Amino acid sequence: MDKTYQGKDMRHYIRYVMPALLLLLSPCLHAQKNPLLTHVPADTVFFSGNTELVNMADFPLISPSVFPETVLTESQGQGEKAFAFLYQLFLDLQQTINASDTQSASSLFQTQYGLSPIFAGVFYLQENSPVIKVWVADESTFLQTFERASRISGLNYQLKSYQQQSYRSYALEQDLQLIVAFKNSPNSPATATLALIHKAINEQQLSLILGLSKPEQSLADTDKLSGIMQQNHYLPQAVSFVDFELLVQSLFKHNKTIGIDLAQENSALKEFRTAECQADLTTLIHYMPRLTGGYSHFKYDGSQVDSKFKLLLELNNPNVMAELKSFRGFIPAYIRNGAEQNIVGMGLGLDLSQLSSMYFYISQAFKNTHFQCKPLLKMQKKIARTNPAMVALMTGVAEGIHGIAFAVQKMNVSQKPFELSMIMSIAAENPLRVWQLLAGFNSATAGLTPSQTPQRISHPVLDAAGIPVSLAIKGQHLVLYSGQPAAQYAEALGQEKITGNGLIQETINYSELLKVIKALKQLLNVQEQKLPAQICIYFDETINQISRISGTSQYKSDIVPRGWENSLQMQLGVAAQQIPSGLTGKFRAYNVGDGCQLEVDGIDEINTDGSGLYHQYSEDQQCFVYETQYRWTQRDNKMQLQYISERNRPEGLCDREFTQWSVPEAAFINDSCDLRVEPNADFACVFHWNNDIQKSVFERLQD
């Protein structure tokens, strides 16, 4: 197994955005309250966790690949070490989820993190210290993640203790520490605690964080969580809130947790640290008191997930609610009811004719409010200088527009002419005027006058691709479309009257999306500029993950009676991750290079006794210039590697003799890769090295 890639210059990740990571919970253990709630103070500003115990065997794990952009560098200062340490913890979690090999997350998280099969977890703020508590069955397995991050980043810990309770302390900054502690209980699994604390934290708060004492009043002692669940019909397996009223209160009191006054360190906060500002902000925040989240529906039968997650920003001002409702625009039926028919669809419903009036109302309401707080008075003066007529002028070009929608039903770009069915529509009181404004920016379309009869749009790019795009006005809608069934949707639009029926709606059909991603990779890679190797691997990983998912997801954002609600509804099938077999033998190893081409890298001998020997070729493939002996084990779809010894030819030249076998540097002894089933080869390994990703493909050599 080649590990020399680790020494190459680090590069920034190029982010390839796919659907967000989703971890879905399922009800299973009824009426058994989460005992960790007794550690959460009733006045915490933020909370997320389960209110009842959950059986981890009922966790379906759905994880389309997400590759975040990073800013890792080769600098080894304390700040860079801390960042690399935290990033590695996140990367480890991401890789673990992406490597899930079954429909259940139970074995995965127990194996990788040592979590208890009966899950209890809470995430909250103890004053200003973020705290995570979770039940753990295997302490050593849990700590392996931190030891790996420490080894890679070079950030070590100090072993400290308080009242005979030991804990690890990782110095992230001069005054900021990450602590990791375990507390055993005779009647339940051990509790692992992770917290970010200031070095000047007082003993009382440290005792609360470590679980040596409990708050005078905890969330378990109140009906706050049950009230949130009852009001919003949330299930007990995942409930969250941010209490903005408590957040404002916390800004106006001395921070006993870390022994400092935050306002003394931040001039913006310091300006607000007056009794007048406290009174004014308390009044304002009363109209937006809380953000809550949870599942309103959940069903999982072992292979199918049917769930709905909601996030609600509570709003108490009836006048503001009325203005927001009037701002709702139109979302057409091909978006509202098209989750199955569309590959992707998005509708943005905004009545732009209400934008200037809504701005005028909110600005006037703010200007006419009696404030005593000096910073708010300054804001009033700035708003007073804004001319509402200018705002109206700026939005005048969009006057009469009630919504924009777009959807793709078919897309095959792997052959010419391209097969494409797509539709884009603009709902407007005067669709012809909207076209005239848009056409003014493009001389090629300025001469077209849309009507009820569709007209073909001629454009060099569209013509070269063989994509016929038609333009028409259907009722109150300006429509651009290509192919079937988009033409049918366009005709149906003529019968739809503009109504205020929503703000945002998006849908994804994962089964059809997979076909598009495969074709898109092929299309992009035949351009003059070949795809970089890492982007090719990102495509491969995305295809690998999405190939496990079938069904649809639907996101909505709208104004409801109690505020602004965002919801994610999913009806998905989840297949098990395929695990390669037959890993032993002699293989030719390739690396994925630019243009998604496989480049010969060496020969790998993987033996049944758990040993291995890797030979890396010179650039001209005339000799081997690097060799390493290693031990290997397979755990589900992950290969663990321990490098025993290595040698190389100086400067990679074939006429140089090999150096003596030597033990690799400590940071490079342990390694792992995610095993993948590879088309047209035996298997592949995906390595994650700091901020680099590399894929090696293995093809068996015949004896």
Which domains are seen in the chain, by residue range? 31-285 (no CATH), 301-306+315-351+400-574 (no CATH), 585-700 (2.40.128.280)
The two structure tokens encoding residue 304:
């199918």
The continuous run of DSSP H or E covering 695 comes out as strand 692-700
**Burial environment of residue 615 by CB neighbours within 10 A (0 to 12, 13 to 18, 19 or more):** middle
Q: Residue 3, Cβ neighbours under 10 Å: how many? A: 21
Directed axis angle between helix 275-285 and helix 244-251, to 10°?
Answer: 170
Instruction: Using the Cα atoms of residue 23, residue 26, residue 27 and residue 29 in order, give the sign of their dihedral.
Output: negative
Quote the pLDDT of residue 104.
52
The 3-state DSSP class for residue 151 equals helix
pTM for the full model?
Answer: 0.81
C-alpha–C-alpha distance, residues 488 and 481, integer Å: 10
Q: Among residues of the chain, what percentage have pLDDT more than 90?
A: 51
Parallel, antiparallel or unpaired: strands 563-574 and 549-560? antiparallel
pLDDT the model gives residue 31: 53
- Write out the two tokens for 74: 């080769």
Pairing of strands 598-606, 611-617: antiparallel
| Closest to 229 in 3D by CA, of 502, 34, 501 | 34
* Closest-CA residue to 272 (of 127, 374, 380): 374
The C-alpha atoms of residue 456 and residue 471 are separated, in whole angstroms, by 6
Burial of 387 (0-12, 13-18, 19+ CB in 10 A): exposed
Residues of the chain with pLDDT under 50: 3-30, 63-77, 101-103, 255-265
pLDDT of residue 261: 46
Asked whether 66 and 151 are in contact (CB, 8 A), the reply is no
- Measured CA to CA, the distance from residue 581 to residue 698 in angstroms comes to 12
Closest by alpha carbon to 119, among 221, 188, 187, 180?
188
